[in-house]
Amino acid sequence: MVSVKHILVVILILLTPIVSRGRPDAEQVTAARTSLFAQSAAQALNRDFPDAYVSFLLLDAHTGQLLASRWEHATVPIPLGSLAKPFAALAYGEQHEFHYPSHTCRGSETGCWRPGGHGDVDLASAIAFSCNSYFRFLTLDLTAADVLPTASQFGLDLPDSSTQGGEFAGLGTRWRISPLRMAQAYVELLGERHRPAVRQILAGMEQSALRGTGAEVDRALQSETALVKTGTAACTHSRPAPGDGFVVALVPAQDPRLLLMVRVHGVPGSVAARTAGQMLRRIEE
Ligand SMILES: [Zn+2]
């Protein structure tokens, strides 16, 4: 008959590999914390922002890991409007030794969404105010072949060969990019902040949150500041609206930990920014 002692010995032998693993290492602790944070963020966002016409993707801004999401078909390419502008700017830079011109936006006269225009703009302010006139000027001679290296470096869906000019800056619907790829491209962008051109773009995103099209994000956040890019694009919902608003917001601005991408049905990007700010505030609480 097998004695209790024998059984205990067997159990001890079986347990040894588990016990000898010792205390969980730092990586395991971080992973566990991340997953707890992701679960509670997802719960809070789904509970407090239940509107089916609000879509979101929440990513770890350091690793690009998807933490929480509610976005039907997030991998299907759709028009994302001005969210493409930073990448159009980098594609232009590749062709022009990263020298960016200044430009005078005269509003409707030069094809901007703001009828009265933005006056003299450089790359950073064109990003901050999402100036279409500046980006029409910047992308005038840009071809799909010029944009391919930047698009592939940042993992964006590639534009087809008939795409040209302002379409690279999200004017029109020809360059379609999947929302998840776009969110991850902004994580990559952050990782490239040592590049002077990227620094100008991120400075523009910081201005956007302070006084540009993304100002509603900082307003909702109150104590924190963000890096923001907004966009407005043709609606792809089954019950169509004139347009959908898009926002990419990174917080905190100094060293972003989180990236939130939001789509709000039937409003411009500058209005969707308020929803994004409220969501981030809810997560940070
Ligand atoms: Zn303008």
Q: What is the DSSP string of 215-273?
A: HHHHHHHSS---EEEEEEE---SSS--S-EEEEEEEESSSS--EEEEEEEETS-HHHHH
Task: Tell me which residue has tokens 């006056």.
Answer: 119
How many whole angstroms from 118 Cα to the centroid of ligand 1? 4
Tell me whether residue 244 is in a domain: yes
The angle, 0 to 180 degrees and rounded to 10, between the axes of the packed helices 196-211 and 179-191 is 120
* Closest C-alpha among 181, 207, 198, 152 to residue 259: 181
Reported as a pLDDT band with limits 50, 70 and 90, residue 239 is confident
pLDDT of the residue at 11: 46
How many whole angstroms from 231 Cα to the centroid of ligand 1? 14
User: In which domain, by residue range, is 118 found?
Assistant: 21-284
How many whole angstroms from 241 Cα to the centroid of ligand 1? 24
Tell me whether residue 1 is in a domain: no
* Closest C-alpha among 134, 140, 144 to residue 86: 134
Mean pLDDT of 88-115: 96
CATH assignment of the domain containing 42: 3.40.710.10
Tell me whether residue 38 is in a domain: yes
pLDDT of the residue at 17: 47
Tell me whether residue 15 is in a domain: no
Coil, strand or helix: which one is 152? helix
Tell me whether residue 25 is in a domain: yes
How many whole angstroms from 147 Cα to the centroid of ligand 1? 23
Per-residue pLDDT at 113 exceeds 60: yes
Distance CA 256, CA 139 (A): 29
Four-point Cα dihedral 195, 199, 200, 206, nearest 10: 160
Tell me whether residue 12 is in a domain: no
How many whole angstroms from 245 Cα to the centroid of ligand 1? 18
Share of the chain above pLDDT 90, in %: 81
How many whole angstroms from 170 Cα to the centroid of ligand 1? 14
How many whole angstroms from 284 Cα to the centroid of ligand 1? 33
| Whole-Å CA distances, 127 to 14, 24, 166, 229, 284 | 61, 44, 14, 7, 26
Whole-structure pTM value:
0.89
What's the domain count of the chain?
Answer: 1
How many whole angstroms from 14 Cα to the centroid of ligand 1? 70
Tell me whether residue 125 is in a domain: yes
pLDDT of the residue at 22: 61
Tell me whether residue 28 is in a domain: yes
How many whole angstroms from 58 Cα to the centroid of ligand 1? 30
